[in-house]
Structures are given as C-alpha cells and as structure tokens.
Amino acid sequence: MDFPLFHLDWLNDRFLIAMIAIIHVFINHGLAVGFLPYITLLEQQGVVKSGPEDITDLAWDKMVQRMMMVGFVITTTMGAMTGVGIWFSAALISPNSIGSLIRVFYWGWFTEWIVFVSEVVFIMIYFLTWKNSNKSLRAKQRHIRFGWFLSAFSWLTMAIIVAILGFMMDPGNWVEDQSLLSALTNPIYLPQLLFRTPTAMVVAGAFGFLLIMLFTKKDSPIRPTALKTTATWVLLWLPMSILASIYYYNVIPEAMTANMSTAVGTMDFAKYYDLLKYIILIATSSLALLAIWTLWKPKKVNLIIVIIPFVLSLGFLGIFERVREFIRKPYVIGNYMYSNLIREEDYPLLQRDGILKHSTYTSITEITEENKLEAGKDVFMIACSRCHTSQGINSIIFVFEKMYGEGKPLDINSMKAYIPNMHNGRTYMPPYPGNEEELDALAHYIFYLQQSGATLEGAQSAGAHLNPTHSVEHFIEQKTKQQ
C-alpha cells in the first residue's frame, strides 16, 4: 500500500528471509554464543593438562586456536553479514512491520548494537592476541579470563535480541501501552532464552566434534582427550536443552497453540509436522549417542559418525525457527499487524472503501470490466503476495487446487464465497482486507493466473505505478480547494 512491493515470484518472499535468518542462527548459536565458552574451556584445559614447566600444551593449544580461527572467520564474514541480511531482507519483504518494530525497539536495538560492537572488538582481541599470550603464564591466564568475559558478553547480545523475537510472537501488553519495557517483559521471553542458551551450547559441541576431527590426525594423542571433553560438554547441556524445549512449548499462549493445531489439522501439515518432531528426537538422541560412544571408545570415533549428528542438530535448530515463525500467523506483529502488512485497526476502513483506494502504488482508481485483471493483480500484490506466489512455492493456484481439486478449472464464485470467510476456518490466514469489487477482481485474476500460467513481477523489475489520487500534486490541489 505504502511501498512499491518487492516480490520473488518463484522462490517466495518468506523463503528469502528464512534462508538468511536460519544461516545466521546456526552461526550465531553454534560458532559464537555456544562456541566461545566451549573454546575458552578447551584453552583452559590445555594449561591445566600441561606440565609444571610449560605454559600450555602447545599441540593442544594450536588445535584450539585453529578451531577458534574457523569460528572467527565465519562469524566475522557470513555471521555478521547474515545478521545485517535479516534487516535487509525484512525491509524488502515486510517494510511496514520492520519499520514499525524499529520505532518501538530503537533503544533495544541500539543497546544491542553497542553490545555487538563490543563483542566484535572483543572477539578480534581474543583471537588476534592468542599467539602473543603464549609467551608467559600470566598472559595466558589473562587471555583465558578474557575468553570467559567474552562468552558472557556474547550471551548478552543474544539475551537482548531474543526479547525482540519474543515480542514479535506475543506483544504482551504492548498493544495497550506501546512502551519498550512492556515489550521486553513479554511472557515468552524467559522461556525462549532458557531454550536457546543450552541449545547453543549443544550445537557448539556438534561443531566442536567436527572441527576436532578435521584438525587432529587419526593417531594424535590429543584427539581422544579433546573428543571426550566435547562429549562431556554435550551431555551436560543436552538434558537442559530438551527440558527447556518442552517448557517453551508449554508456555506458548493458548491462542497460538490452538492456531498451531489448526495448521497441524490439515493432512499435509500433520505429516510434515510429525516428521519435524521425529527429527528433533533423532537429532538429540544421535548427539547423546555420539557423546556416550565417545566417552566409551574415544579412539573409535570417525568423521561420518560425527557429521550425521552435526547435520541433524542444525536441522533441530532450523525446525525450531520454522515453528516459531509459523505460530506467529496470521500476524506479523501479534494483534497489531497482519502478515499482509495491514494493521488490524485499519480493516474497517479498507473493507468499506477497498484497499486500492488507499494504496499509493496502483494505477486503478475505479474497477471496470476492462481493468478488472489489472485491479485483481494489484489486490493480489497487496493482500496476498507476502506469502503466496503466482506459480512458484506456496502459489495461490496450488493452495486453491488443493482445496477444489488438482487440475480442475477454479470456480470464480466459489473463491468469492471462500475468501471473505477463510480466516475463520484457516486461522493462520489474515482476514480478507478489501471490498466486494476487489474480491471479484481478485477471483478473476486468480482464475486468469491458473489458466494462463502468468507470473507476477515485483517492483524490483517492473517498477511501480502511481495512484493519481496519492500524488503530491493531487494532495496540494485538494488543499487549494479547501481554501
């Protein structure tokens, strides 16, 4: 409505955000928040296990430093950029919601930024002073203390960002008083933090297993010791991660659970969702098995049995993010803005006047027989395109054919009867925001999409059309008339 809309008509807009966000979470949890205390622990172990004459076990220390280098390089390249990328992609796909969130959470994010700047500086200091700190025991001990300090800092950045994520799922009292404090104290905050903390540690352990296998030789004496430390680390955190995930699910507000079960109620999703539950079960138990096996027979650990739980634990994390995103529907900001970027409170106006009348970027001022398809296209872009494509992933044709029969020509009247009420049956869908004429145009356009196989170009290539009643010139003309 207020923005020319970027749209990826095959990949699906949500997929872009999801892809970037999930890579970021993997790196953030696995190679920063969980990884830093894990690496510091290993560094400390090197000092403890070395002889009284030595500062540290040099071969061991070299291995730990190389592991840290992987964490350092990946977090300061892909980790940092995917973090920025979440903003970039959210600004493209969901400008109204990210624009609103920034206005509410400016200070939260600003604080986050200060902590984040410090974190990057500290990580650089920690990694780049590693070599020099090996010159004396005192320097080494100071380096290790710095590592613990850095770990706490890294956790703090996560603690702040989780408040923002929690808010987006359930704004608590924010809709009433719109203050930052009430958003930060929303009811899902602590459970989510409780879940993410041990899970980050577990995923870091999975990264640790993999890196030890890569950076030590088969017959190296340090490999079994390092693997056993990692196994203990994983076994320590894993039960907490499992318990926290159960707790987390139990406190998700009633409405959201009901909503989730509605989605699960569809046959396709039920199958998919069951699969997800199994992956979580398999991922956690495979990691537990690997850890127990490592403690029992540390010399009989090979790359393959390390890689499998590693991949599965990444899947575990990805699924959690997926569910977290899904239970937000039909809102993008709970009880305030729907996932089509329209505020709940503006619905009466838009349903009365139509959405096109209040849209800056459409060429249609009045729907006629001639411009009906064009109008339908604009309605689709505004009301549907944030989640649906024309022919690609989660396409509008796919979802209607699933309901009315695959390959059968869609019935315009059925769609017109269905769309205004769909949110009652499919509670993850926002209500239809437009008026009757627009509904007619939309249904015709969807039928046209099915029959023609046409696609829909976003503003990034097609540009935008201006609604003549939403121009500066028109606005000033209206003001002139009032004089």
Partner 1 sequence: MNNTPLPKDIPLDLPLPEWLLVILLVVSFLAHIVFVNLMVGGSIATLWAEIKGLRNKEYDILAQEIAATITVNKSLAVVLGVAPLLSINALYTIYFYTANSLTGIMWILIIPMVAIVFLLTYLHKYTWEAMANMKLLHIAINALAVAMFLFIPLIFLVNVNLMLFPEKWMSVRGFLSALALPNVFPRYFHFICASLALTGLFITWYMGRKNYPFEEYFQVFTRAKVKRIGYQLALGASVAQFLFGPIVMATLPAKGFSWSMMSVILSGVAVAVYAVYYMIKTLRGSDADLNKYFRRIVISMSIVVVFMGSGRHVYRANALNPHRELMAQKTAEFEQASKEAREQALNKQAEANEAIAAAEASGDNTAKGKAVFNNYCAACHKETSLLVGPPVTEMKEIYTDKKADLIKWIKSPGKKRPDAPQMPPFPQINDTDMEDLTQYILNIK
- In the set 109, 146, 148, 149, which binds partner 1 (CB under 8 A)? 109
Q: Please name the amino acid found at residue 199.
A: T
382 neighbors 442 (Cβ within 8 angstroms): no
Residue 173 in the binding site for partner 1 (CB under 8 A):
no
Residue 414, number of CB atoms within 10 A of its CB: 13
113 neighbors 40 (Cβ within 8 angstroms): no
Binders of partner 1 among 65-104, rule CB under 8 A?
Answer: 73, 76-78, 80-82, 84-85, 87-89, 91-92, 95-96, 98-100, 102-104
Residue 478, token pair as written in the block: 């209206």
Piece of the chain touching partner 1 by CB under 8 A; list 181-189, 204-212, 258-266, 302-310: 258-266
Sign of CA dihedral 258, 263, 266, 271: negative
Binders of partner 1 among 127-166, rule CB under 8 A?
Answer: 128
In terms of CB distance, is 113 or 272 closer to partner 1? 113
Residue 199, token pair as written in the block: 């899970």
In terms of CB distance, is 106 or 272 closer to partner 1? 106
Binders of partner 1 among 454-473, rule CB under 8 A?
Answer: 458-466, 468, 470-473
What is the secondary structure of 281-322 as a DSSP string?
HHHHHHHHHHHHHHHH-GGG--HHHHHHHHHHHHHHHHHHHH
Piece of the chain touching partner 1 by CB under 8 A; list 30-38, 239-247, 291-299, 413-421: 413-421
- Smallest gap, in angstroms, from Cβ of residue 167 to partner 1? 14
- In the set 361, 380, 445, 447, which binds partner 1 (CB under 8 A)? 361
- In the set 272, 402, 409, 451, which binds partner 1 (CB under 8 A)? 402
Q: How far apart are CA 319 and CA 325, in angstroms?
A: 10
How many residues are present in the chain?
483
Residue 106 in the binding site for partner 1 (CB under 8 A):
yes
Residue 11 in the binding site for partner 1 (CB under 8 A):
no
In terms of CB distance, is 405 or 453 closer to partner 1? 405
In terms of CB distance, is 242 or 260 closer to partner 1? 260
- Smallest gap, in angstroms, from Cβ of residue 73 to partner 1? 5
Judge residue 120's burial from the number of C-beta atoms within 10 Å of its C-beta, 0-12 exposed, 13-18 middle, 19 or more buried.
middle
Piece of the chain touching partner 1 by CB under 8 A; list 131-139, 166-174, 228-236, 358-366: 358-366
In terms of CB distance, is 291 or 342 closer to partner 1? 342
Q: How far apart are CA 457 and CA 9, in angstroms?
A: 7
Q: How far apart are CA 341 and CA 319, in angstroms?
A: 25
400 neighbors 449 (Cβ within 8 angstroms): no
